[in-house]
Amino acid sequence: MTGELLKELRLPATHEFTLDAKNETGPADETMWTSQDHLKVVSVKPQLIRQANGPNALKYACDPGQGNLLRFNDGTLNVQNLHYSVRNIEWIAGEGHAPHITYCPIPTVNGGMKFHGFYEHQIVPVFGGYYWKGCISENASGKGRNVSPVVFWVNDLPRRYNDNCGHFDVYVWGWS
């Protein structure tokens, strides 16, 4: 099954990586991909998206109210390098907040957020041993230092994830 799905993806042999160690703020650890007290992490299964022109992709429908642990076949998607896009962003960070439709909706840093030093409510990918900073949402890539699970979060106050609602989609174009 894995080989068949990879053939379906028609992945290019190499990628230009647009993120690097300068874009990470800190090392990722087990707390990024396992549920902790008030922060829930759930497994998200992909849908294969076939495109007439261009590469196929794995599409993951993500929930901004929790960490989204990406799955592949019967296991976790573990990668060092990832090539992805985030699309169809539509979520609200609780009552009184404006709807968010971009990857980095608020260009200010709030030190009380889960990911310190990141923009408020930005989408934060975790893979390759890092959590990644930056506002690249289309054809983004990163080269990590080791293999780790892939998780997508939004940057919110640690005890405020439960009031988030909406969705965003992660399209995975390739990995190694």
Q: What are phi and psi of 9, to 5 degrees?
A: -70, -25
Residues 110-148: tens digit of each pLDDT? 888 888 888 999 999 988 888 888 888 898 888 888 898
CATH number at residue 168: 2.60.120.430
Q: Sorting pLDDT into bands at 50, 70 and 90, what band is 3?
A: very low
Lowest mean pLDDT among 33-47, 115-129, 156-170: 33-47
Q: What beta strand segments (E) does 12-164 contain?
A: 24-27, 41-44, 47-49, 57-62, 67-72, 75-76, 78-92, 106-109, 119-120, 123-127, 130-132, 140-149, 151-154
Q: What is the DSSP string of 137-150?
A: -SSEEEEEEEEEE-
Q: Does residue 10 carry a pLDDT above 70?
A: no
User: What is the DSSP-derived secondary structure letter of residue 129?
Assistant: T
pTM: 0.83
Q: Does residue 17 carry a pLDDT above 50?
A: no
Three-state secondary structure call for residue 3: helix
Residue 21 sits in which domain range? 2-175
Contact between residue 89 and residue 17 where contact means Cβ atoms under 8 Å apart: no
Residues 66-103: tens digit of each pLDDT? 999 999 998 999 999 999 999 999 999 998 899 999 99
Domain count for the chain, please give it: 1
pLDDT of residue 33: 57
For tokens 């959590």, what's the residue? Answer: 131
- 10 vs 162: which has the higher pLDDT: 162
- 5 vs 82: which has the higher pLDDT: 82
| C-alpha to C-alpha distance for 28 and 151, rounded to whole angstroms | 10
